[in-house]
Amino acid sequence: MRINFELLDLHAFLAVLEHRSFNRAAVQLNLSQPALSRRIKNLEDTIGAALIERSTRHVAPTRIGQTLQPLVQRLLEEFEESIVSISDLKRNLAGRVTIASIPTAAFYFLPRVLQDFRAAYPGIHFRIHDLGANEGLEAVSRGEVEFGINITGAGRADLCFTPLMEDVFVLACRRDHPLAQAARLSWKDLTGYPLIGVSQSSGNRAVLDRALASAEVRLDWVYEVNHLSTSLGFVEAGLGASVLPKLATPQSEHPLIATVPIVDPVVSRTLGIVERQGVRLSPAAARFKETLVQRWGRHGGALDEGPGDAGPKRS
C-alpha cells in the first residue's frame, strides 16, 4: 500500500476523536472545517476504510478507527520525541517509553530499575501498562506498546521473546502454619493442606499445572483468585497457604507471612522481554531494554537465594 498522507492528517484524526467534534478539532488545529474534513478523507482513502462516523449529532470512531487510535497516538509521540532526542544531545537521550508489564514485575522490580535509569536519563518518561500475561501479549502484538515484560510469548510467530530471569515458585504461609518452619519442601509435602491458587486462565497457573502433572502431584486448590496479591491477602487472613512466584512475595521481613522454597522439582517461570518481530525499538526504548537485560543479569538469571534459604529477603 502506498503511504500518501501527512502528519497533520494524523493529528486531525486524533483531534476529532478527542473532541468528538469537527468544529472544536478545527479550532484546535487552526484549520477550516472543510480543510479538516479533507484531512480525514485523505487518511481514510489511504487506509481504505472509514475511520470516523459522523452525523449532525454524533461523531465517533468506527471499529477500524478505534483500533487505529492508540497506534496513531503512539506513532506521533514516538516521532515527536525522537526529534527531541536527536536535538537534545547534551541530555543524551529523551523520549517516552511505553511498555506492558505483568503486575508482579511492575510492582516489585521495575521501580528500582526505573529510579536508576531516570537518574541517568532524566529526559526519558515512561507509560507503564500493568496487564496480565495474555493482555500484555496482545498489547505488544497490536503495537500499543513498544515491548512487554512477560512470562510467555516465545511460541508466537509474530513475537520474539528474550529470557531475562527465572522466578521460582515458593510456598507463602502464615508464620503459625505447620509448614512455615521447614527449610525446604517437596511438592508432595503440600498435599492435604488447603491451598490458594490463581485461576486456571492465568499464565502462572499454566506453568504450575504442567510441572505438577509431570511430577504426578495433585494439590487441593480450595480457593482460586485472579491476582497474586489477593492470594497473599487470603494467606494473611489464615484461609490457607499459597503457591506463588518469589517475585510476588513480600520484599522484606513480613510480620505474618513466611516463604519456604519448594523443591523436587524446582518449578519456575521465565520472565523476559516480548517484542514484535522485525520492529525496531525507539532509541529510548532500546536503551531501557539494554538496561533491563544488564540489571536482571546481575541476578545470574534467577531470582532465588537457593533452596536452603527460607527467608523472604531479595537479592
Q: What is the pLDDT of residues 81-105, one digit of tens each?
A: 766 655 554 455 678 899 999 988 8
Multiple choice CATH, 7-74, 1.10.287.130, 1.10.10.10, 3.50.50.60, 3.40.50.620: 1.10.10.10
Average pLDDT, the chain: 84
The answer to whether the CB of 278 falls within 8 A of the CB of 158 is no
Residue 125 CA to residue 198 CA, distance in Å, equals 33
If you average pLDDT over residues 159-175, what whole number do you get?
92
* pLDDT score at 212: 85
Q: Which CATH superfamily is domain 77-164+270-303 in?
A: Periplasmic binding protein-like II (3.40.190.10)
Whether 246 contacts 290, CB under 8 Å: no
Q: pLDDT band at residue 80, thresholds of 50, 70 and 90?
A: confident
DSSP of 223-257, one letter per residue? Answer: EEES-HHHHHHHHHTTS-EEEEEGGGS-SS--SSE
Residues of the chain with CATH 1.10.10.10: 7-74
Give the pLDDT confidence score for residue 154 in this predicted structure. 67
**CATH 3.40.190.10 residue ranges for the chain:** 77-164+270-303, 167-269
How do residues 44-59 score in pLDDT, each as one tens digit?
Answer: 888 888 999 887 778 8
pTM to 2 decimal places: 0.63
CA atoms within 13 A on the CB side of 194: 11
Q: Does domain 167-269 have CATH number 3.40.190.10?
A: yes
Residue 310, pLDDT above cutoff 50: no
Residues with Cβ within 8 Å of residue 186, at least 6 apart in sequence: 262, 263, 264
pLDDT at 114: 93
- pLDDT at residue 262 tops 70: yes
